[in-house]
């Protein structure tokens, strides 16, 4: 049987860049395309950080991809220092490109190639960790759009058979990198809510609450140390 032809390249890659909360995000190295749902919760997180008086704090954008979440945070909270982490070397280079485009200096932004927290400097701690981990379940691959499978980095999408493998590793370690009263904002698949509740009940975080996106689907969680 002949293989079906590859789908058309996404418009975002054709255009070479997208806008994300007023920031230009270059996509020349083909990172995961920023989603409207991610923009939605990032806006929520930025507003929450500003209300909590953490505009001068330290923030980590983990599983950063293009760097869109952390860059928007840094641009909208001018006193914040933002670190970026991703396992992919191409993503690390993409983040550096986007920091330059958005005129964010090295004094306010550091970039690490890291497998979750592997290469984050010992003793480093954060007021907030913003995380968009790979969470698509491999068992749900037939539900993923063909263009996503053809063009976007699968490493940034899939989180194991049930999509929870990387989420669990992240949640088990993130508490060690949070300052007292620190908060996590994490994106997830709406079908994973119950499993994440079970995970968190076995961990030592202070509190957590789930939020829906603009499409009324459970999409992100806010966790407080």
**Three-state SS sequence of 102-135:** CCCCCCCEEEEECCCCCCCCCCCCEEEEEECCCC
Has residue 3 been placed in a domain? no
Has residue 197 been placed in a domain? yes
| pLDDT at res. 207 | 96
DSSP 154: G
C-alpha torsion sign, points 25, 126, 80, 212? positive
85 Cβ contact partners less than 8 Å away, ≥ 6 residues apart: 60, 61, 62, 63, 64, 111, 112, 113, 114, 116, 117, 119, 120
Alpha helices in 52-181 (DSSP H): 68-76, 89-101, 146-151, 165-174
Q: Name the CA radius of gyration of the chain, rounded.
A: 17
Q: What mean pLDDT, rounded, does the chain reach?
A: 94
CATH code of the domain covering residue 103 = 3.40.50.150
| pLDDT at res. 81 | 94
Has residue 157 been placed in a domain? yes
20 Cβ contact partners less than 8 Å away, ≥ 6 residues apart: 34, 39, 42, 68, 71, 72
| pLDDT at res. 1 | 41
Has residue 27 been placed in a domain? yes
Contact (CB, 8 A) for 222 and 183: yes
DSSP 23: E
| pLDDT at res. 166 | 97
| Number of domains, the chain | 1
Backbone phi and psi for residue 47, each to the nearest 5 degrees, phi listed first? -65, -40
Residues of the chain falling short of pLDDT 70? 1-5, 54-56
pTM for the whole structure: 0.94
Report which of 155, 141, 177, 150 is spatially closest to residue 61, judged by C-alpha positions: 177
pLDDT digits (tens, 9 = 90+) for 42-100: 999 999 999 877 556 899 999 999 999 999 999 999 989 999 999 999 999 999 999 99
Report which of 38, 13, 9 is spatially closest to residue 27, judged by C-alpha positions: 13
Has residue 214 been placed in a domain? yes
| pLDDT at res. 54 | 57
Has residue 6 been placed in a domain? no
Has residue 1 been placed in a domain? no
Residue ranges making up the domain that contains 148: 11-224
Has residue 4 been placed in a domain? no
How crowded is residue 55: how many other Cβ atoms within 10 Å of its Cβ?
A: 17
């Amino acid at each position: 049987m002949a293989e079906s032809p590859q789908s058309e390249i996404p418009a975002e890659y054709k255009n070479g860049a997208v806008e994300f909360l007023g920031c230009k995000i270059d996509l020349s190295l083909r990172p995961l395309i920023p989603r409207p749902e991610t923009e939605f919760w990032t806006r929520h997180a930025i507003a929450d950080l500003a209300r909590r008086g953490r505009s001068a704090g330290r923030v980590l954008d983990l599983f950063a991809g293009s760097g869109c979440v952390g860059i928007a945070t840094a641009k909208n909270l001018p006193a914040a220092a933002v670190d970026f982490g991703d396992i992919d070397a191409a993503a690390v280079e993409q983040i550096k490109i986007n920091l330059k485009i958005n005129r964010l200096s090295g004094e306010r932004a550091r970039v690490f190639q890291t497998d979750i927290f592997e290469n984050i400097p010992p003793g480093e701690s954060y007021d907030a960790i913003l995380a968009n981990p790979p969470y698509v379940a491999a068992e749900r691959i037939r539900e993923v759009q063909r263009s996503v499978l053809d063009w976007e980095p699968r490493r940034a999408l899939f989180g194991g058979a049930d999509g929870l493998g990387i989420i669990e590793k992240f949640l088990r370690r993130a508490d060690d990198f949070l300052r007292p009263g620190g908060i996590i904002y994490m994106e997830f698949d709406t079908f994973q809510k119950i499993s994440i509740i079970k995970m968190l009940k076995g961990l030592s975080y202070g509190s957590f609450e789930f939020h829906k996106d603009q499409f009324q689907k459970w999409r992100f969680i806010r966790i407080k140390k």
